[in-house]
Structure 1
């Protein structure tokens, strides 16, 4: 397998980068938007020429990205360092095509979701109440994806209200449970291994809270487990019939398509959850079959590599101009930085080129009154994704019109800048900041699924282009191990500063 720097296309890209890019009023205008799965991608505001695009397409071919895309969608890619298959694309295949165990798990979840949402006798609280609230306990991939989807699909929510608890900080538990009725709250505990420390501690706190307010019989009656390690959940006292499983080959940050999506289905119904999977499946098929010139994930990935490795951009902003997508930047921080924040390649050798940029962002127009100043006039150029939804979410057509006007204004200001003659120096905008515009037809389950799968497939494609493993996360482990060794040294209460107790020296 070729490393990227060994390809002729990489050398050509380096040559093109050395020749520079001259920003003209019409720069990028020859790039036509491409559309797939109800999503349109406009890359006309990028520092590229026809030759750049040709070299990026050639790079994808030289590293066999089209073949690897087909292998990913078929479930044939391996996570080498953990010796596991990468199975999340199989989760969103239409029911007849899915693995039997996946189908059985989703069918069991479907039945439970319907029972909770209809108030069936088999899914009521200890006090025989219909559940009005669901407390979801999980962290990282066990929470970020489902929380994004629940928030994004607010207008479709007609089930119990969903609350997410992740932080080990006890104040978070106190604040969330203060608004809940214990007798009408279902607790969903999500952990791939079912040994995650933060999740275990918060689940124990929820068990004590319900025991004090409902009685000891609330556990396991009002608890549900979602895990790839059902034996551990059952050993801890969870009921087998309400322990929902998913394959160990599904990474946490890619798991919302599995039974980890239980909170989504409880909020909007299983049929709409299935529509979200259908949108993701449609994007998978597009990724595995479309040529580079019309392939949305491949283009996003390739242009990201161009900006990172040949334009020396160190950060990338995600700017959704839709309040209900406000959690998308947070989800993508994990998806992209945990997947591709790597400095060792697939051969176990140090990477000699840059990989994942820092990902950050905020919903528009809020971010305009925060960090956009740096995007426009900071000393470091930063690339951006501006995400818009064509059909309005709210009642007001005029507010949606203003929202869209702001989105396009920011994209044009970042790209075109302002060099009007006679401007004071502090009013000059250099422009040339690369911007990708991603337009959803509407924000519904299908298009949300397609959007998230677009980014997942982009992440995989960049991993291939950088010759790294996008599916492990060994950098997460060291801090966990050190925390266990330090725990006994942290006093429960003290009036003295804690910092002197913990030296930076070994």
Structure 2
């Protein structure tokens, strides 16, 4: 990123020119603002009119995208180029949902063949589980799936299974174990019958510490109940390491391949999505892929000015790097999207939470801010105080479906009203005079009005984007996830960072391995800082006292 470029400097000057502009003024001056600052793809609408920006803002951001070679970067990703430069890998998760690479190389043709074969194998296996043809070692059909993984191998599939619960066949309960904390595995297994439980182990290398510790404990649980020969019937592997999965005891026909050109946080479309496929069936799973594929085509073919991920990404750059907003809240007004927030957290912060550019130099501006949130209306009663009256401006994404899956119509109408009201309140606010008049109409005494009014004013002018869709079905979920994936890519392209590695997770893992012997009462590493040494000594003391 060149912060000395014309586009960058023009944006900085433009932001200063906008200092005294309010959203209320922009709407008052433009009766057609909603139509001009919203974009629709079928039944998927993105309303970004409540962000503090104008035609000039969007034109300058588009110029920044052009100067940053965004279109070329998009083409590189879809062609299968090794855009993950630190690991010399492609990032072709789009291939998993039917978006053919722009480069018909022999390698890409082989990749496409592998994807098709994998999906066919997954479908056959899932249908065998659903029908009861595939059974456990005692001949009983599976009633429970225990999916073990960490990070992207759990966040994506668990989110999708929860979001698409209305499409589940409900004959098989699916649970996810991700934490190395034994309480996670213990509490899940305590309610399961080994005879009717299938365990999916999701690890690209099949060496991930947390995942393999949980997998070995689950294997011991199965072995104790059913004998060592039962492991092959009760486990399947989602991995690229066939040798390790076979050594673990998993049958080759129950090994589902992963590839190094698909990152974990983009992997729910791959074999990592097997629990989704088992839950919702092949037809619905293909609809999930279809929605993402439609968004892929939109992203690669639509002009910058009407391109949903490009618009979302450029607004994010405007907020973070130009205006200096430090965080971004995701507020789905849909209880079944409660796990989407964690998925987007990983997607954006693991992808773009970096300070080094693609050339290995420090980037000259802020990159990813903190992504956080909660489902509405819960969020209104926890942190919306901060959003409305806090000292920081925090942009929000509101997500809402026009139609619910249940027949409690008044509930859904109330939900929609709350969603729209919050975005309106953040934008409009209520100044001191308006607040005093409001309190006067409520019958308060003048002295009380003077005392309360400063606390009851709302500054307004706080930005938000609303994503509205017809219904949360598999296709819509695919579009929604792909939109955030490509938004993240746009951010990374503008910041000139590699959005497809995650070296920031490595140091802590290495140090944990070094400290594990000391935690087990073995000698501690010779060179420890005073705090870590003190913590180890104290925890040893606590453990001895308990024993």
What range is the shorter-chain TM-score in?
Answer: over 0.9
* 1:55 correspondence with 2:60: yes
Specify the alignment match of 1:175 in structure 2.
187
Q: Distance in 2 between matches of 1:195 and 1:59?
A: 42
* 1:443 correspondence with 2:472: yes
Specify the alignment match of 1:456 in structure 2.
485
Offset of residue 277 of structure 1: 0.6
Offset of residue 102 of structure 1: 1.4
Q: Distance in 2 between matches of 1:420 and 1:411?
A: 20
1:69-107 CA distances to partner (integer Å, 9 max, x unpaired)? 233233335200001111111111169987111111111
Specify the alignment match of 2:15 in structure 1.
17
Q: Note closer, same or farther for the CA distance 1:77–1:450 as it changes in structure 2 (3 Å cut).
A: farther
Q: Distance in 1 between matches of 2:45 and 2:503?
A: 35
**Equivalent in 82, 86, 92 of residue 91 of structure 2:** 86
Q: Distance in 1 between matches of 2:98 and 2:505?
A: 30
Q: Secondary structure at the match of 2:145?
A: strand
Q: Note closer, same or farther for the CA distance 1:325–1:492 as it changes in structure 2 (3 Å cut).
A: farther
Q: Note closer, same or farther for the CA distance 1:72–1:209 as it changes in structure 2 (3 Å cut).
A: same
Matches within 5 A, 1:366-445: 366-421=378-433, 423=436, 424-445=453-474
Q: Is the 8 A contact 1:125 1:185 kept in 2?
A: yes
Offset of residue 393 of structure 1: 2.3
Q: Distance in 1 between matches of 2:26 and 2:7?
A: 23
Q: Distance in 1 between matches of 2:357 and 2:469?
A: 34
Q: Secondary structure at the match of 2:311?
A: helix
Q: Note closer, same or farther for the CA distance 1:492–1:42 as it changes in structure 2 (3 Å cut).
A: farther
1:242-291 CA distances to partner (integer Å, 9 max, x unpaired)? 00002111000000000110000010112211110110010000001111
Structure 1 runs of 4+ with >3 Å offset: 94-98
**Equivalent in 104, 107, 114 of residue 127 of structure 2:** 114
Q: Distance in 2 between matches of 1:291 and 1:94?
A: 18
Specify the alignment match of 1:129 in structure 2.
140
Q: Distance in 2 between matches of 1:390 and 1:176?
A: 35
Q: Secondary structure at the match of 1:82?
A: coil
Specify the alignment match of 2:105 in structure 1.
none
Matches within 5 A, 1:239-258: 239-258=251-270
Q: Is the 8 A contact 2:432 2:454 kept in 1?
A: no
* 1:205 correspondence with 2:210: no
Specify the alignment match of 1:42 in structure 2.
47
Q: Distance in 1 between matches of 2:100 and 2:274?
A: 17
Offset of residue 4 of structure 1: 3.8
Specify the alignment match of 2:513 in structure 1.
484
Specify the alignment match of 1:104 in structure 2.
117
1:168-211 CA distances to partner (integer Å, 9 max, x unpaired)? 11111111111111110000000111111010000011111111
* 1:157 correspondence with 2:168: yes
Larger helix proportion of the pair: 2
Q: Distance in 1 between matches of 2:20 and 2:491?
A: 23
**Equivalent in 141, 147, 156 of residue 152 of structure 2:** 141
Q: Distance in 1 between matches of 2:228 and 2:100?
A: 39
* 1:189 correspondence with 2:218: no
Q: Note closer, same or farther for the CA distance 1:476–1:94 as it changes in structure 2 (3 Å cut).
A: closer
Q: Distance in 1 between matches of 2:401 and 2:459?
A: 28
Q: Is the 8 A contact 2:76 2:83 kept in 1?
A: no
Offset of residue 294 of structure 1: 1.1
**Equivalent in 497, 516, 534 of residue 500 of structure 1:** 534
Q: Is the 8 A contact 2:201 2:215 kept in 1?
A: yes
Structure 1 segments unaligned to the other structure (5+ residues):
none
Q: Distance in 1 between matches of 2:191 and 2:428?
A: 48
Q: Distance in 2 between matches of 1:68 and 1:6?
A: 21
User: How many equivalent residue pairs?
Assistant: 496
Q: Distance in 2 between matches of 1:253 and 1:349?
A: 25
RMSD: 1.9
Q: Distance in 2 between matches of 1:37 and 1:83?
A: 37
Q: Secondary structure at the match of 1:106?
A: helix
Offset of residue 417 of structure 1: 1.2
Q: Is the 8 A contact 2:398 2:419 kept in 1?
A: yes
Q: Secondary structure at the match of 1:78?
A: coil
Specify the alignment match of 1:278 in structure 2.
290
Q: Is the 8 A contact 1:191 1:199 kept in 2?
A: yes
Q: Distance in 2 between matches of 1:399 and 1:79?
A: 46
Structure 2 segments unaligned to the other structure (5+ residues):
102-108, 437-452, 523-530, 538-547
Q: Note closer, same or farther for the CA distance 1:290–1:95 as it changes in structure 2 (3 Å cut).
A: closer
Q: Note closer, same or farther for the CA distance 1:46–1:151 as it changes in structure 2 (3 Å cut).
A: same
Q: Is the 8 A contact 1:73 1:285 kept in 2?
A: no
Specify the alignment match of 1:27 in structure 2.
26
Q: Is the 8 A contact 1:381 1:433 kept in 2?
A: yes
Q: Note closer, same or farther for the CA distance 1:174–1:271 as it changes in structure 2 (3 Å cut).
A: same
After TM superposition, the score normalised by the length of structure 1 is 0.95
Specify the alignment match of 1:331 in structure 2.
343
